[in-house]
Structure 1
Amino acid sequence: MRIMSLNAWGGTMHAQLLSYLGNSAPEVLCLQEIIDSPETDRAWLEYRDKDHVLPQQANLFTEIRRALPHHEAYFCPAAQGDLWDGDRPVPSRWGLATFVHRSSAVIGQALGFVHKGYGADGFGAHPRSRNAHAIRLFDHVGERAVVVSHMQGLRDLGGKGDTPERLEQAKRFLALTRQIAVPGDRVVMCGDFNVEPDSATLRLLAEAGMEELVTGRGFEGTRTSSYAKAGKFADYMLVDDAAAVKSFDVIRSPEVSDHCPLIVEL
């Protein structure tokens, strides 16, 4: 079973992203920063947060779902706020998406918030609402149940250092994962955690028996050349049993986002 985690960057690199996902098509795909704008047919809108301006694919979730016709698709919005079509605000939902190939049976799932609750009246001030999604599926090839959970961690304007809110989000993420895991299940936790490798978040998950693969396998970052800031770690993938990992990679090419895809094969 191949599992991929990727921050899709709102589809800023839309053509490259859709081509890559359509060709790679892992059994489980965990995506962060996904946009869904049901009130418009426009392809592109603009995200504006003071001096932070980005093009966004208005209906990215729908586009990816079309590119993966053999996957079940789950969209998990964290907030609804305005993206912009010129001077016109367009209500748009932002959050996570999970895609599971139909060869696997989804036999459980949990969705919940790890910081605040659903932002119905705008994206809000940082740190914003954050959610997590966990699925339990039966892998008929591997003949066992697997739990895969992912989140996008808090963005803090002060950087990626430890904060009480980040530690609390990690505790909630772990609790949500455990909510559906059954003893004997294989467990994978992943996402854009927005923390450094020496963070309290990763220490907490390590104490819970999870092994982190990015730094554990010697990779020196998870950001692409499109990311110009300092600090090249943001994304992580953890497993409960490293012996079950057939392969793990941080994909540098092709570039489809300012984050690298992480792929584990169990």
Structure 2
Amino acid sequence: MEIMCLNGWGGTLHAALLPYLAEAAPDILCLQEVIHSPSSAQDWLTYRDGDHILLQRANLFRDVASALPEHVAVFCPAAQGELWDGDVSIPSQWGLATFVHRSLPIIGQAQGFVHKDYSAVGFGAHPRSRSAHGVRVWDHEAGRAVSVTHMHGLRDLAGKMDTPERKAQAQRLLELSRQVAAPDDLTVICGDFNVEPDSETLAILAGSGMTDLVTARGFESTRTSHYGKPGRFADYMLIDREDAVARFEVIRDPEVSDHCPLSLRV
């Protein structure tokens, strides 16, 4: 079974992202920074936040679902705000999505918030609402249940330092994972955590018996050449039984986002 985790960057590199996902077709795809604008027929809309202006793929959730037709797709919105088609505002939902191959029975799942609650009247002030999603599947080939939970961690304008909000977020992520997983499950927690390797977030997860594969295996970055800021880590993938890992990669080529895909085979 292959589990992939990726921040899709709102589909900014759509032309590279969609063919890559269609070819890779991981059994479980955990995708963050996903746009869903069901009232718009446009391919692209614009996100505006002060001086921060970024093109967004208007219906990235639909696009990825079309690229993975053999997967069950679940979209988990964190907020609905405005994207722009020229001078026309378009209501657009922002969040994360999970795609599970139809050969894997989904025998449990949970969706919740690790920071704030659903923001229905705008994306809100930073740090914004953040959701998480977990699925429990049965792997018939291995004869076991596997639980996978992911989140998109808080973006704090001050940086990636530890904060009380990030500590609470990590604890809620762990609680959601425990809500999904049974005691004997192989358990994975992943996502764009928006923290450094020495963070309190990773310490909390490590204290629960989880091993982070990015840092434990010596990878020096999870960002691509499209990310120009300092701090080369954001994405992590943790597992409770490292001996179950058949392969783990931080994929640097092709570049399909400003984040690298994390690929775990168990």
Q: TM-score range by the shorter chain?
A: over 0.9
4+ runs deviating over 6 angstroms? none
Q: Give the SS at the match of 2:214.
A: coil
Gaps of 5+ in 1: none
Partner of 1:71: 71
Partner of 1:215: 215
Deviation at 1:141, TM superposition (A): 1.1
Q: Does 1:185 align with 2:191?
A: no
TM-score by length of 1: 1.00
For residues 220-245 of structure 1, the C-alpha deviation after alignment (integer angstroms, 9 at most, x for no partner) is: 01000000000000000000000000
Partner of 1:238: 238
State the distance in 2 between where 1:183 and 1:219 align.
Answer: 30
State the distance in 1 between where 2:53 and 2:19 align.
Answer: 25
Partner of 1:165: 165
Q: Give the SS at the match of 1:154.
A: coil
State the distance in 2 between where 1:192 and 1:73 align.
Answer: 19
Residue identity matched to 1:126: H
Partner of 1:205: 205
Residue identity matched to 2:142: G
Deviation at 1:174, TM superposition (A): 0.2
Q: Give the SS at the match of 2:158.
A: coil
Backbone CA RMSD of aligned residues = 0.4
Count matched residues.
Answer: 266
Partner of 1:141: 141
Residue identity matched to 1:29: L
Partner of 2:114: 114
Deviation at 1:183, TM superposition (A): 1.2
For residues 142-175 of structure 1, the C-alpha deviation after alignment (integer angstroms, 9 at most, x for no partner) is: 1100000000000000000100000000000000
Partner of 1:25: 25
Partner of 2:7: 7
Q: Does 1:49 align with 2:49?
A: yes
Q: Give the SS at the match of 1:20.
A: helix
For residues 21-65 of structure 1, the C-alpha deviation after alignment (integer angstroms, 9 at most, x for no partner) is: 000000000000000001110000001111111100000100110
Partner of 1:253: 253
Q: Does 1:130 align with 2:130?
A: yes
Deviation at 1:180, TM superposition (A): 1.8
TM-score by length of 2: 1.00
State the distance in 1 between where 2:74 and 2:94 align.
Answer: 13
State the distance in 2 between where 1:196 and 1:219 align.
Answer: 13
Deviation at 1:181, TM superposition (A): 1.0
Q: Give the SS at the match of 1:90.
A: strand
Q: Give the SS at the match of 1:214.
A: helix
State the distance in 1 between where 2:258 and 2:171 align.
Answer: 27
Gaps of 5+ in 2: none
State the distance in 2 between where 1:60 and 1:233 align.
Answer: 24
Partner of 2:84: 84
